């Protein structure tokens, strides 16, 4: 197997060439966050790393000791794989940091996890048609209900955000009292986490069961990340599956608290509301929408990386402004091109002040 080589200038470990086993090739996909451990560090610049169930020989000029664990982001450039070090273990750390370390190594975007889960469920049903009437078939039908449809209105978006399962435990507590409304209990049973927990209990062992477990782990990592955001006083990031290229991608929605700074400056003054949505589609690349709503006007800034997408947005800007304004408010649509790594800046799942302050990872690169 080819070695891994580190570059101290950018704190990267580089994997050159091919030759990985099937299991490791699946793990080492571009953009993945992986966990690893240093098995041997002789001090001569070589290492033996454990990644998943594989042992990977390495060489690096980054100081790593045997027994250290790390998180890394996979970067792929042609036939070369880069493992960008994100964080190393610490002897003493808060419970939340330890919990995050336990889940982030397997963390993947929710849309990708649900796409893999749907594929595993369809394969199970194709192999055993009667499975369509079992827990796998029930879950497969239910997954479609959690994807954001094209043309969805605000009411649909609010309902889907409520059903993500990110607030599952809080809703469980709220619905456990004797006076809890029946509709609250019904909503709890219908959220995504409840469905995954039920399927994990009812499905027999196999690829579909494993895919459910991975989707559940991904959802729980989202919950822990939002807890970290809450600890740092940052707004939640909500993840929603969105149809894309025969599967799902992940839209991320951020809703900061209203800006009350303008309130009280006159009879017409009103809080300023903000909303950010970021998503990366197969045909457009990353797209970001920043909305700012005042008393009588809406500003929509659209950021993309592809100039061809910008041209399409500029051509549709007038129609988009008309649709969003509804004849009731002025709408300003401002499309722009920015560097690809800046499109989704600030709403990346790992870009959290709490993690930086607790040295879990270095998200600045």
Q: In the numeric block, which tokens belong to residue 305?
A: 């990386």
Q: Which of 173, 202, 233 is the last residue of a domain?
A: 233
- 198 and 121, same structural domain? yes
Q: What is the CATH number of the domain that holds 8?
A: 2.40.50
The answer on pLDDT for 7 being more than 70 is no
Please state the φ and ψ torsions of residue 307, each to the nearest 5 degrees.
-60, -30
Does residue 224 sit within a domain?
A: yes
Structural domain boundaries, residue 136: 110-233
- 198 and 120, same structural domain? yes
Which range is least confidently modeled, 77-81, 215-219, 312-316? 77-81
pLDDT digits (tens, 9 = 90+) for 143-183: 988 988 887 888 888 889 889 988 887 777 666 655 556 77
Please state the φ and ψ torsions of residue 72, each to the nearest 5 degrees.
-145, 150
Q: Are strands 297-304 and 330-337 parallel, antiparallel or unpaired?
A: parallel
- CA distances from residue 47 to 4, 8, 41, 79 in whole angstroms, order as listed: 9, 15, 5, 22
Q: Which of 177, 198, 233 is the last residue of a domain?
A: 233
The answer on pLDDT for 47 being more than 80 is no
Does residue 47 sit within a domain?
A: yes
Interatomic CA distance for residues 140 and 261, integer angstroms = 46
Residue 10 has what pLDDT? Answer: 28
Does residue 98 sit within a domain?
A: no
Q: In the numeric block, which tokens belong to residue 12?
A: 């990267």
- 129 and 215, same structural domain? yes
pLDDT band at 53 (very low <50, low <70, confident <90, very high): low
- 127 and 58, same structural domain? no
pTM exceeds 0.85, yes or no: no
Which range is least confidently modeled, 81-90, 225-234, 330-339? 81-90
- 120 and 56, same structural domain? no
CA 112 to chain centre: 9
Does residue 96 sit within a domain?
A: no
Does residue 357 sit within a domain?
A: no
Where do runs of H (alpha helix) occur along the chain? 22-27, 95-104, 110-127, 135-143, 154-162, 168-174, 182-189, 192-202, 207-231, 307-325, 340-343, 353-357
What does the mean pLDDT of the chain come to? Answer: 79
Q: What's the mean pLDDT in 288-308?
A: 94
In sequence order, which residues have a C-beta less than 8 Å from that of residue 175 and are 6 or more positions away? 184, 185, 188
Helix (H, G, I), strand (E, B) or coil at 264: coil
- CA distances from residue 245 to 57, 157, 248, 343 in whole angstroms, order as listed: 37, 21, 7, 21
pLDDT band at 14 (very low <50, low <70, confident <90, very high): very low
Does residue 191 sit within a domain?
A: yes
- 225 and 260, same structural domain? no
The answer on pLDDT for 43 being more than 50 is yes
Interatomic CA distance for residues 56 and 47, integer angstroms = 8
- 152 and 85, same structural domain? no
Residue 2 has what pLDDT? Answer: 38
- 287 and 178, same structural domain? no
- 221 and 122, same structural domain? yes
In sequence order, which residues have a C-beta less than 8 Å from that of residue 72 and are 6 or more positions away? 13, 33, 34, 36, 83, 84, 85, 86
- 144 and 191, same structural domain? yes
In sequence order, which residues have a C-beta less than 8 Å from that of residue 242 and are 6 or more positions away? 111, 147, 148, 248, 249, 250, 251, 279
- 184 and 78, same structural domain? no
108 or 281, higher pLDDT: 281
Q: What's the mean pLDDT in 342-362?
A: 74
Interatomic CA distance for residues 230 and 354, integer angstroms = 9
User: How many structural domains compose the chain?
Assistant: 3
Helix (H, G, I), strand (E, B) or coil at 123: helix
- 275 and 217, same structural domain? no
Among 122-126, 221-225, 326-330, 353-357, the range of highest mean pLDDT: 122-126
The answer on pLDDT for 309 being more than 90 is yes
Interatomic CA distance for residues 57 and 70, integer angstroms = 16
Conformational region of residue 70, where left means phi above 0, alpha means psi within -120 to 50, and beta covers everything else: beta
What is the separation, in whole angstroms, between the first and last Cα of the chain? 27
Q: CA torsion angle for 110, 216, 15, 343 (degrees, to 10)?
A: 20
Does residue 264 sit within a domain?
A: yes
Per the CB < 8 A criterion, the answer to whether 192 and 110 are in contact is: no
Please state the φ and ψ torsions of residue 234, each to the nearest 5 degrees.
-105, 150
Residue 103 has what pLDDT? Answer: 65
The answer on pLDDT for 101 being more than 50 is yes
Does residue 101 sit within a domain?
A: no
């Amino acid at each position: 197997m080819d070695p891994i080589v580190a570059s101290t200038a950018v704190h990267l470990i580089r994997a050159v060439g091919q030759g990985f086993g099937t299991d490791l090739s699946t793990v080492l996909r571009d953009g993945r966050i992986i966990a690893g451990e240093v098995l041997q560090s002789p001090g001569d610049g070589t290492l033996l790393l454990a990644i998943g169930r594989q042992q990977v020989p390495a060489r690096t000029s980054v100081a790593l000791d045997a027994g250290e664990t790390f998180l890394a982001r996979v970067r792929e450039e042609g036939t070369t794989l880069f493992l960008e070090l994100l964080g190393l273990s610490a002897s003493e750390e808060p419970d939340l940091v330890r919990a995050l370390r336990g889940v982030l190594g397997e963390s993947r975007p929710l849309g990708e996890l649900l796409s893999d889960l749907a594929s595993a469920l369809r394969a199970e049903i194709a192999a055993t048609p009667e499975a369509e009437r079992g827990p796998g078939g029930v879950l497969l039908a239910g997954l479609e209900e959690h994807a954001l449809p094209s043309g969805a209105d605000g009411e649909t978006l609010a309902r889907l955000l409520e059903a993500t399962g990110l607030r599952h435990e809080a809703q469980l507590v709220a619905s456990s009292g004797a006076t809890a409304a029946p509709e609250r209990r019904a909503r709890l049973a219908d959220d995504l986490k409840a469905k995954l927990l039920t399927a994990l209990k009812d499905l027999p062992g196999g690829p579909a069961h494993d895919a459910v477990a991975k989707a559940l782990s991904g959802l729980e990592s989202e919950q822990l990340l939002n807890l970290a955001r809450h600890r740092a006083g940052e707004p939640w990031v909500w993840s929603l599956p969105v149809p894309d290229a025969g599967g799902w991608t992940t839209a991320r929605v951020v809703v900061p608290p209203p800006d009350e700074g303008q309130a009280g400056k006159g009879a017409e003054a009103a809080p300023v509301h903000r909303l950010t949505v970021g998503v990366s589609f197969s045909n457009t690349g990353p797209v970001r929408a920043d909305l700012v709503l005042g008393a009588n006007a809406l500003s929509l800034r659209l950021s993309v990386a592809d100039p061809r997408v910008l041209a399409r947005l500029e051509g549709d800007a007038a129609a988009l402004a008309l649709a969003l304004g509804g004849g009731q408010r002025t709408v300003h649509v401002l499309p722009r091109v920015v560097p690809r790594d800046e499109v989704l800046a600030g709403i990346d799942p790992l870009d959290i002040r709490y993690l930086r302050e607790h040295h879990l990872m270095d998200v600045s690169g």
